[in-house]
Structure formats: structure tokens, C-alpha cells
């Protein structure tokens, strides 16, 4: 390796050892399944806020969104606006009620268990259906993080892509299997801070090196990118109503993301929700704005020349271009932090779906707490391996993979969560119908193209799921 790569390697090694140390400490405090799944509902508001934010935004905030801004210009602002609206509504509408009701209804540890207790489903049908869709979509979601890791190690260390993906998978597995939810949440707190620091520093420095915002805008204009891109695509075709709705529609996904909802359920008290919300919303707003600026500055910097899926490397290229290897290593470690903070959360929720919602409920197995934790850790490994195999055969961008899984969770669980909290007439049949309708609509819509099918699959699936929930519920009342 070159001297610059030596610096980067040392920085990455120190970071990974720090995360491993946190995992070991969390392992000593994991005594039962409640600790492993929700940390015993003991999270403070800072940990809850940044853990929710870091596990939400993932590597796409440092790779996917800057890359989209670099490739499409101002059009990317619509996604940021949709996500900001979505996370705001999620904290106001869902967080307080879910924290209170999940504990009141049999101290539910997972979203499927919450549904089962809410509808007093003795057949375990809704719990089983929910768990199966969680397992399915999380394989895609986790795979997106591993693809991002592959791009990171491939660009920084010139590693072959396959070895880069495997390296990232092993790092995530070690501390997730050791410490469970506490390890995931504590590391997410640190990783959320690191992500925001890297985004702010890189955005400000890139803006300065580009000559300021006016100079950046002028450079974008020279590349035929103007504010009209808010309503026009980068190829100067009309973005249109469907395009704007699709981009804004990302915000609908928040209501159904199990790894985000788990943070709401784990906070120490519902009275801490307002404080956590304030921290989370500021963190999210700063992250989205800086990610967009980085993408725009990439257009202005003549040294950056990326095409196709390589546009998602714009953050990496800017960091390596502008910074000394040591601060560059810290900023690039933030990408690894983003990847790990989401992938670990997804692996944990997916393994919990098997351990708590399938193994015990479906097969009516009873086991000791030690055995259940062991099964959970084994499932983390199995799911990670499946996601790794998918990532090794990379065909889509990070943003594309995230969009698919995000839509699946948002449409399957979002309407049911909202109606559970705000509509007492929702029935078991309505909820099951809504979950199946939302998930299958996303799967089928994603396979089609052209015309109305250019609309982001989350939007029609969310609407159809809501209609089915209400219709079947009123039909049974």
C-alpha cells in the first residue's frame, strides 16, 4: 500500500477496534432476550435519537443521495424534502403512541408481536406474516449496505470488490452478534455523530474549494443544471407530477420501518420522546442538506468525473481529493459507520423476527433465555450471509436497493401502524389484508415499467394497503 493508504488503513483499524470494544461491553450487559432485542427499554434520548437517525439514513446518505444530487442536480431536493417531512411526522405521530402501547400490550418486543397482542390473535397469523415479510425485505436492505461497503473498500484500498464486501460483512457480524441491541444502539450513537461531523466538514470544505455557493451554481449552470431541474429531469424532459410525487413519496416509508420503530419502543420513557425528537430532526436536516451540497459541489469540481453507478462515489472522491489522509480516513470511516449503523440494526430486527416471532410463536417452542439469544445470534449470521451473497452479485445501485426495501416496509407496515394507533375499528382481517396487499403491490409494481408504473412503488402500495385495511375492517364490523 501507498503511504496515504497506510494512514487510511490505520484509521479504519482503530475505528473497527473501537466498535468491537463497544460490542464486548454491551455483551456483558445482555442477560435476557429483552436486553438483546430492545436493550431492556433503557435507552436515553440522545442514544434513541441518533441511533434512529443513523440506522435510518445508512450509507445512502453519504453515497446514494450525494450521488443522486451529482447525477440529477436539483431534482434530488425533492427526496430530501420528502424524507424530512416523513421523519418529522413519524416522531410526532408514531413515536409516543408506539412506545406506550407496545409496553401496555404485553410488553411487546417486536412489531409483529405488537400486532398480535393488539388484535389478540391466538392463531399467530399476523405475527407470522409480518415476520416473513421482515425477513424478505431485510435481506435486500442489508445487501444494499454491503454493496456500499464494497464500493468503499474497493475505492480506498483498491481491494477486489468481492473481498471488500466480505470484509465489511465480517466487521458488522462481530459486534452485532456479541452485544445485540445495546451494542447496535451505543455504536449507532457514536456513528451518528461521526456521520454528521464528516458530512458537515466535507460539505463546508467542498463548498469553499468550489468558490462558494454562487460559484457552485455557476458551474452547475455550465453543466446545463439549473433550478428548473426541480421540475425537469437532467435530460431536460419534464419531471412531471408523477416524478415529484415519487420523490416526495419516500417520506411515506418512515411509518413502517421496523429498525426505526424499534428505537421508539426502546426509549426509557415516552416523556423523553420530545427531547429525542428535537435531536433527531436537527441531525436529519443537517445531514440531508450537507449530502445535497456535497453532490452539487462534485459537479463544480473539475477533478471529479463520474458516470453511471460510479456517481455514488462522489463523497469518496471529494474526501480523497481535498483532505490529508488522516482527516480523510476519519471522513471515510463515517461511510463505514453509516453502513454498519444500518446493517447491524437490520440484522438484529431480522433475526428477532425469526427468534421471537417465528421460532417461539409459529412452532410453539419454549426455550431458555440463553438459548433464544444463541438462536438470535445464529440467525444474524445466516441472514448476513444471504445478504452478502446477493451483494457479491451487484446489479443495482445502493439507492436502488434501498428504495425497494424501503417501499416494501413502508407499504406493508406503515398503514397498519398508523391505523393501530389512531383508529380503534381496525380489525385483524383488515390488518393482515393491508400487510399482504402493501408488500405484494411493491413486489409486483417493481417488475413493471412505463406510464403509471414509473411512479415509485411505495406510493400506490401505501394507498392500496390503507384502502384494504379500512374496507376489510368495516366489512367485519
Q: Is 449 helix (H, G, I), strand (E, B) or coil?
A: coil
Q: Which residues touch 128 (CB under 8 Å, ≥6 apart)?
A: 112, 357, 358, 361, 362
Cα separation, 155 vs 203, in Å, equals 20
pLDDT higher at 64 or 190: 64
CATH topology of domain 3-394: Sodium/glucose cotransporter (1.20.1730)
- Asked if pLDDT for residue 410 goes beyond 70, the answer is yes
According to the model, what pLDDT value does residue 234 have?
Answer: 47
According to the model, what pLDDT value does residue 211 have?
Answer: 86
Least confident of 189-198, 225-234, 289-298: 225-234
Per the CB < 8 A criterion, the answer to whether 5 and 231 are in contact is no
Percent of all residues in the chain with a pLDDT value above 70, rounded to a whole number? 81
Reported as a pLDDT band with limits 50, 70 and 90, residue 464 is: very high
Nearest to 89 by CA among 273, 287, 255, 245: 255
Instruction: Summarize pLDDT for 71-116 with one digit per residue, the tens.
Output: 888 888 999 999 999 999 999 999 999 999 988 888 887 888 899 9
Reported as a pLDDT band with limits 50, 70 and 90, residue 273 is: very high
- Cα–Cα distances (Å) from 364 to 34, 105, 189, 358, 359, in that order, read 19, 20, 36, 9, 7
Choose the most confident range, by mean pLDDT, from 26-30, 223-227, 450-454, 468-472: 468-472
Name the E strands within 136-247.
Answer: none
- Asked if pLDDT for residue 165 goes beyond 50, the answer is yes
Least confident of 7-16, 87-96, 380-389: 7-16
Instruction: Summarize pLDDT for 37-76 with one digit per residue, the tens.
Output: 554 556 677 777 877 777 777 777 888 899 999 988 888 8
Nearest to 130 by CA among 412, 325, 368: 412
- Asked if pLDDT for residue 216 goes beyond 80, the answer is yes
Instruction: Summarize pLDDT for 122-157 with one digit per residue, the tens.
Output: 888 999 899 889 889 988 888 887 887 787 778 777
Q: Which residue in this structure is represented by grid cell 417531512?
A: 85
Least confident of 45-49, 132-136, 227-231, 459-463: 227-231
Reported as a pLDDT band with limits 50, 70 and 90, residue 460 is: very high
Choose the most confident range, by mean pLDDT, from 173-187, 251-265, 278-292: 278-292
pLDDT higher at 171 or 457: 457
Nearest to 152 by CA among 401, 336, 387: 336
Per the CB < 8 A criterion, the answer to whether 250 and 86 are in contact is yes
According to the model, what pLDDT value does residue 184 have?
Answer: 61
Least confident of 14-28, 202-216, 403-417: 14-28
Instruction: Summarize pLDDT for 317-340 with one digit per residue, the tens.
Output: 898 888 877 788 887 777 776 776
Whole-prediction pTM:
0.85
Per the CB < 8 A criterion, the answer to whether 284 and 86 are in contact is no
According to the model, what pLDDT value does residue 110 have?
Answer: 83
Instruction: Summarize pLDDT for 234-252 with one digit per residue, the tens.
Output: 454 556 778 888 889 999 9
According to the model, what pLDDT value does residue 450 have?
Answer: 78
Q: What is the mean pLDDT of residues 189-214?
A: 86
Nearest to 246 by CA among 406, 366, 93, 38: 406
Amino acid at each position: 500500500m501507498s503511504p496515504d493508504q497506510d494512514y487510511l488503513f490505520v484509521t479504519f483499524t482503530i475505528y473497527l477496534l473501537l466498535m468491537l470494544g463497544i460490542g464486548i461491553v454491551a455483551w456483558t450487559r445482555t442477560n435476557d432476550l429483552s436486553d438483546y432485542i430492545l436493550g431492556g427499554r433503557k435507552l436515553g434520548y440522545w442514544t434513541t435519537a441518533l441511533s434512529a437517525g443513523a440506522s435510518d439514513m445508512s450509507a445512502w446518505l453519504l453515497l446514494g443521495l450525494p450521488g443522486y444530487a451529482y447525477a440529477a442536480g436539483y431534482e434530488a431536493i425533492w427526496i430530501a424534502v420528502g424524507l424530512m417531512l416523513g421523519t418529522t411526522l413519524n416522531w410526532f405521530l408514531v413515536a409516543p403512541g408506539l412506545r406506550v402501547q407496545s409496553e401496555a400490550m404485553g410488553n411487546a418486543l417486536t412489531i409483529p408481536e405488537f400486532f398480535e397482542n393488539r388484535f389478540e390473535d391466538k392463531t399467530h397469523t399476523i405475527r407470522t406474516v409480518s415476520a416473513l415479510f421482515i425477513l424478505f425485505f431485510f435481506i435486500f436492505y442489508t445487501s444494499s449496505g454491503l454493496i456500499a461497503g464494497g464500493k468503499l473498500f474497493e475505492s480506498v484500498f483498491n481491494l477486489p470488490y468481492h473481498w471488500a464486501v466480505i470484509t465489511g460483512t465480517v466487521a458488522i457480524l462481530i459486534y452485532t452478534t456479541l452485544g445485540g441491541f445495546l451494542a447496535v444502539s451505543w455504536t449507532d450513537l457514536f456513528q451518528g455523530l461521526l456521520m454528521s461531523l464528516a458530512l458537515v466538514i466535507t460539505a463546508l470544505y467542498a463548498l469553499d474549494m468550489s468558490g462558494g455557493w454562487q460559484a457552485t451554481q455557476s458551474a452547475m449552470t455550465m453543466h446545463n443544471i439549473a433550478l428548473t431541474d426541480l421540475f425537469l429531469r437532467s435530460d431536460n424532459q419534464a419531471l412531471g407530477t408523477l416524478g415529484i410525487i415519487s420523490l416526495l413519496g419516500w417520506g411515506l416509508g418512515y411509518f413502517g420501518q421496523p429498525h426505526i420503530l424499534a428505537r421508539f419502543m426502546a426509549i426509557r420513557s415516552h416523556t423523553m420522546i420530545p427531547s429525542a425528537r428535537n435531536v433527531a430532526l436537527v441531525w436529519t436536516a443537517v445531514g440531508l442538506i450537507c449530502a445535497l451540497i456535497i453532490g452539487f459541489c462534485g459537479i463544480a469540481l473539475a477533478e471529479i468525473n463520474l458516470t453511471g453507478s460510479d456517481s455514488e462515489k462522489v463523497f469518496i472522491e471529494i474526501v480523497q481529493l481535498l483532505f490529508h489522509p488522516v482527516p480523510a480516513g476519519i471522513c471515510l470511516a463515517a461511510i463505514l459507520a453509516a453502513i454498519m449503523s444500518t446493517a447491524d440494526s437490520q440484522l438484529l430486527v431480522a433475526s428477532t423476527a425469526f427468534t421471537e416471532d417465528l421460532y417461539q410463536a409459529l412452532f410453539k417452542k419454549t426455550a431458555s433465555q440463553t438459548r433464544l439469544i444463541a438462536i438470535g445470534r445464529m440467525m444474524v449470521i445466516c441472514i448476513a450471509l444471504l445478504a452478502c451473497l446477493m451483494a457479491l452479485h451487484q446489479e443495482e445501485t445502493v439507492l436502488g436497493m434501498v428504495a425497494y426495501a424501503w417501499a416494501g416496509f413502508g407499504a406493508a407496515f406503515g398503514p397498519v401502524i398508523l391505523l393501530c394507533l389512531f383508529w380503534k375499528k381496525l380489525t385483524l382481517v383488515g390488518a393482515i389484508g393491508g400487510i399482504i396487499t402493501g408488500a405484494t403491490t411493491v413486489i409486483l409494481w417493481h417488475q413493471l415499467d412505463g406510464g403509471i408504473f414509473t411512479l415509485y412503488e411505495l406510493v400506490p402500495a401505501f394507498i392500496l394497503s390503507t384502502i384494504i385495511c379500512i374496507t376489510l375492517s368495516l366489512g367485519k364490523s
